[in-house]
């Protein structure tokens, strides 16, 4: 079984198109999206339309939830979010708000006797950051009932073994924080011998197109630069 895991597209249709092109080349069995389809970027409706058109299995992210609420429910009240949250809420079509509202918060799969849990932030909270070397990550992996935890939210891809369990962060398709403006996602493959293979993919795309769109729409320069530089 070969699964592509994407997340944190954040209204960036150009990076999503490029990532899906690469995924199609990988000949995966299915694609799972870990949420945050919207927020920050200027194409929330286009992103959701593509996810729906491709019938991609998807869960809800913290920014998705906050946009539905039109409140700082699960995002920080920052200068950028004070622009991005109301802009996205007003831009988003009602049918797409309904779509986001009805997404599940997690997905559990059992593949070749491997139990896999897919979440956005952590199994505990949708907006909890699980960095690979932090104490909370170690605690969660120790108590995890599943064999594999696949998450996102940090926008930084990583794979780490915790004794007999595997922690995977698939990174961010649309708004990376790796110091480069490239889309990242992961390929998760479970073979017949019960072995789990993980590959992090980093894909360049024409990021100057989204920079141009955001500039035309008069998005804050600090927000535009975060897409341009691949930083917070």
- For residues 228 and 231, give the distance between their C-alpha atoms in angstroms, rounded to a whole number: 8
pLDDT of residue 112 exceeding 90: no
- For residues 146 and 207, give the distance between their C-alpha atoms in angstroms, rounded to a whole number: 37
pLDDT of residue 98 exceeding 90: yes
Tell which CATH classification among 3.40.50.150, 3.40.50.2300, 2.30.30.60, 3.60.21.10 matches the domain 2-106+171-229.
3.60.21.10
Reading the block at residue 232, the tokens are 């917070």
Contacts by 137-146, CB closer than 8 A, 24 or more apart: 137/167, 138/162, 141/165, 141/167, 144/117, 145/115, 146/108, 146/115, 146/116, 146/117
CA-based nearest residue to 186, from 168, 204, 174: 168
| DSSP classification of residue 186 | E
Question: Quick check: helix, strand or coil at residue 17?
Answer: helix
Report pTM. Answer: 0.97
Would you list the domain boundaries of the chain?
2-106+171-229
Chain mean position to CA 84: 17
Q: Looking at residue 194, what is its pLDDT?
A: 80
- pLDDT tens track for 182-209: 999 999 999 877 889 999 999 999 999 9
- For residues 189 and 116, give the distance between their C-alpha atoms in angstroms, rounded to a whole number: 12
Averaged pLDDT, 46-52: 98
pLDDT of residue 128 exceeding 90: yes
């Amino acid at each position: 079984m070969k699964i592509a895991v994407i997340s944190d597209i954040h209204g960036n249709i150009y990076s999503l198109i490029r990532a899906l092109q690469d995924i199609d080349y990988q000949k995966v069995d299915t694609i799972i999206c870990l949420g945050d389809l919207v927020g920050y970027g200027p194409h929330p409706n286009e992103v959701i339309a593509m996810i729906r058109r491709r019938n991609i299995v998807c869960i809800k992210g913290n920014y998705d939830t906050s946009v539905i609420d039109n409140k700082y429910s699960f995002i920080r009240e920052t200068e950028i979010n004070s622009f991005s949250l109301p802009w996205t809420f007003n831009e988003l079509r009602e049918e797409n708000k309904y779509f986001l509202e009805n997404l599940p918060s997690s997905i559990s799969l059992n593949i070749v006797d491997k139990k896999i849990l897919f979440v956005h932030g952590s199994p505990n909270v949708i907006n909890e950051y699980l960095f690979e070397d932090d104490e909370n990550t170690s605690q969660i992996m120790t108590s995890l009932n599943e064999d594999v935890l696949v998450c996102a939210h940090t926008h930084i891809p990583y794979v780490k073994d915790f004794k007999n369990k595997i922690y995977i962060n698939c990174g961010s398709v649309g708004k990376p924080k790796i110091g480069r403006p490239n889309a990242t996602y992961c390929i998760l493959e479970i073979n017949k011998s019960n072995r789990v293979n993980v590959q992090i993919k980093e894909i360049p795309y024409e990021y100057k197109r989204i920079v141009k769109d955001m500039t035309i729409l008069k998005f804050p320069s600090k927000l535009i630069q975060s897409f341009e530089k691949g930083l917070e």
